[in-house]
Structure 1
């Protein structure tokens, strides 16, 4: 009960942390948007003041009343707001913070004027000496204002990147720790199996000298040899696995021949590898046999004592394909990828590690591919291993 309560408390803390984080982000966005709104109003006010100053100067010129030094001071200030001043025919009279290549290019100039008109409503300066004498000011937003608009989103992006990096680092560390545990467990298993297998070798040699059925002793020896292969596989987990060119037909044949006499009476295992030309691939025989063995075992479980397994080798100019087909209960399409995930199993007893380990051996150690080619509930499954073909 305490643990359950601890989980609830932990869940509530996470919800509270998420709510606080969302609130802080919301406040930041609102505060920044308010600052941006105020800055925009200030810039619009500055432009309006500048326009009035221009009108005042032109009025002084027409009335010959002289120029107000304060007005001249306003006009002489160079602010950070980009603008273009044109006449009524949109001929550029003056510009500020607009690149010359835009001013000198008619199409680019038109695009820039449209952009400025979208950012702020253009202001018309009407002079006193006639309706035909007016200037239009197209102005945009300063770099500071644009930066202020985008700043909170940049903050959010940086925070998201750091959170993602932290999550990846945490997950990687956790995965590495799990890998070390599994590797240690596998090597310890291999070590523990070493003593009884050595003892069994001695007993088999003893039985060969006794008046017992030697065929039974031979079968026991085959099982012991298979057990020693399993020990060798476990000892290789986590170690360097050198790949060497091997005849795939022969390697797969050894596994098929081992299972044939051990399969249920009403199960047939067919293999085409001995009837076609040999094909080679770079593999680690001990680990690769493990994969084929896992697939055949799964097919036997799916058949439930009756049906057919076809082990088919094919190839093209670049690849070698090994298909293990059965007429068993099949797999729903929604589970085609899930069956290779650690822990996923449809069996009453099982750890759900066989196919996961097979995928790791094929894809990480052999740089190949493994997946369901076709499967339908009640009709069977076809799983294919694809390796790079080796040519002498």
Structure 2
């Protein structure tokens, strides 16, 4: 089911991307065609101005005398232009700042720019073949907008697609979180009834003439089961962190685990032989992380080998290393093992290490990572927490 859902989701993404690209391409082609037509119209308009100028009277200085032509060229359009004589002396201009007209170098650059956009149109005088005007003109603001508009559209479409994907992934992630939180709390609720019943049975067995050592071990398992129930109930809830002795918290998990591993597996721990170190943690959830790491190490050992749990610290951090002599992890999977659903086992959902990372990084603001692994020799996973000191 996961594979089909993934394919369906991927196919939907491809369809959305194709539709977005198609819309952008159609918009680009359509606006380019509109721009081509508008450019042709503007060239035709300028040609009409030149023709009108040739037909109206002018004084010897070449100043436009006809008020209709002057009005059309100066106020009836948004096409920037410069009219010069044959010596490139400016006769008239429109939509050109004075700082360009009054500066020879800037004026020359502006004329060159207009020439790169459109061929200048000469205006011949009837009374003289030696004197003429040149109309240099560029693109109107509307034409420029049409050229840039499709690219803006493409950016907007891409932004909407990106935001849509982010919103979709966020809502899907939130939905999955709600499902898992609900499942965890329901599991805690369902475990509540049998654990309460088992507590009564433990008290009954204590009053009977049987091996009380076995009853105490059963009680330890029941206590551990109640811890697990408490952990599930804490998922998705506010999780207060309190200063705790890391040596003792980790030690409790190690001691419980040590009596329940195969005979050919050795579990070493240095935490009770070194000076205590302290960090802000939620003990119930943090014990869960340590147990997950030891269980993964035990699976990697396949019935024989060593698990070494070691605590170390510096001025700012406390480190908990869980090292095993198991089959090791390829370096390409060092980060992937913490992803939800990733597992190399034939059984299980691949959620243990993912949950551990979430507890360490999101709840405790720490870090968890594979710091060393070699195929056939073993793996070391390290938890790093911010160290605190007793007041």
1:199 to 190, 197, 205: 197
Partner of 1:308: 306
On the 8 A contact 1:54/1:75 being kept in 2, the answer is: no
CA distance in 2, matches of 1:249, 1:106: 82
On the 8 A contact 1:53/1:74 being kept in 2, the answer is: no
Return the TM-score normalized by structure 1.
0.80
Partner of 2:362: 364
Structure-to-structure mapping, 1:109-128, within 5 angstroms = 116=114, 118=116, 120-121=117-118, 123=120
Partner of 1:165: 163
Partner of 2:33: 34
1:264 aligns with 2:262: yes
User: SS of 1:262's equivalent?
Assistant: coil
Partner of 1:43: 42
CA distance in 2, matches of 1:286, 1:9: 39
User: SS of 1:222's equivalent?
Assistant: helix
Q: What is the RMSD of the two structures over their aligned residues, measured on CA atoms?
A: 4.0
Cα offset, 1:33, TM superposition: 0.8
Instruction: Give unpaired runs (5+ residues) of structure 1.
Output: none
Partner of 2:371: 373
User: SS of 2:226's equivalent?
Assistant: helix
On the 8 A contact 2:47/2:121 being kept in 1, the answer is: no
- Decide which moves more: 80-89 or 229-238: 80-89
1:250 to 248, 251, 254: 248
Structure-to-structure mapping, 1:202-281, within 5 angstroms = 202-281=200-279
Distance 1:146 1:210, change over 3 A: same
Instruction: Give unpaired runs (5+ residues) of structure 2.
Output: none
CA distance in 1, matches of 2:140, 2:176: 54
CA distance in 2, matches of 1:73, 1:226: 94
1:328 aligns with 2:326: yes
Partner of 2:381: 383
Distance 1:14 1:219, change over 3 A: closer
Distance 1:365 1:80, change over 3 A: same
On the 8 A contact 1:55/1:125 being kept in 2, the answer is: no
Partner of 2:180: 182
CA distance in 1, matches of 2:297, 2:214: 27
1:82 to 75, 80, 90: 80
CA distance in 2, matches of 1:310, 1:56: 102
CA distance in 2, matches of 1:335, 1:115: 58
Partner of 1:295: 293
On the 8 A contact 1:53/1:75 being kept in 2, the answer is: no
Q: How many residues align?
A: 384
Cα offset, 1:80, TM superposition: 1.7
Cα offset, 1:250, TM superposition: 1.7
